[in-house]
A and B are shown apart, each in its own frame.
Chain A
Amino acid sequence: ETGVTQSPTHLIKTRGQQVTLRCSSQSGHNTVSWYQQALGQGPQFIFQYYREEENGRGNFPPRFSGLQFPNYSSELNVNALELDDSALYLCASSLPSLAGEAYEQYFGPGTRLTVT
């Protein structure tokens, strides 16, 4: 069984640039969630995708956007990068949430983004 993978591992960008981070879901999982983890903090929910549509969003501005593809892989795009966007970005895949069930979210190793 293939786990969740993310690319790239590390990335350095300049303020104002745009960045795309990628995530491949665990085999059989059709739901993917993205989290931002600032240094010394717990992860914060950005959004979730299910069947290629956004299915829940946290308190992040519209310059954070995403895509999910038919093979359930996903991208996180961030436009107009700001210094505060420097963080570890985690992707997690799972089976879809159903009432009364909380399927485990399997996390990838993350992409460390540094904005200078």
Chain B
Amino acid sequence: AQTVTQSQPEMSVQEAETVTLSCTYDTSESDYYLFWYKQPPSRQMILVIRQEAYKQQNATENRFSVNFQKAAKSFSLKISDSQLGDAAMYFCAYRSGAKHKIIFGKGTRLHILP
């Protein structure tokens, strides 16, 4: 079975600095997708970035980028120029190419220090 592990329950970063959130996953599949979701106190789950496993190039969305290490099964999220609005729970997630469900990690709570 596939699993997603986030080993950092909480992290803090100074406003305008860069922070990296870690995620590892386990799968025997070759066709899958990886995601980072943000869940602010409003509870709305928002997709931050996604990565297709077949793509070697790391995904980037403005201040958010990933470091996808397929062989190591690692998928970290880097947030550059952190802003107060980035404070939230961040979930790493996995989806098989052939199945419907998204498997989430336990999350990392990110605090932004002014």
Q: Which residues of A contact B (CB under 8 A)?
A: 33, 35, 40-45, 48, 55-56, 58, 88, 90, 92, 97, 99-100, 102, 104-105, 107-110, 112
Contacts and interface: CB of A to CB of B under 8 A. Distances in A.
A48 B107 CA distance: 23
B104 A42 contact: yes
A69 to B, nearest CB: 19
B106 A41 contact: yes
Nearest to B4: A42
Contacts of A58: 101
A88 B43 CA distance: 9
Nearest to A98: B97
Contact of A90 (B45, B97, B105): B45
Contacts of A107: 44-46
Contacts of B100: 33, 45, 48, 55-56, 97
A109 B33 contact: no
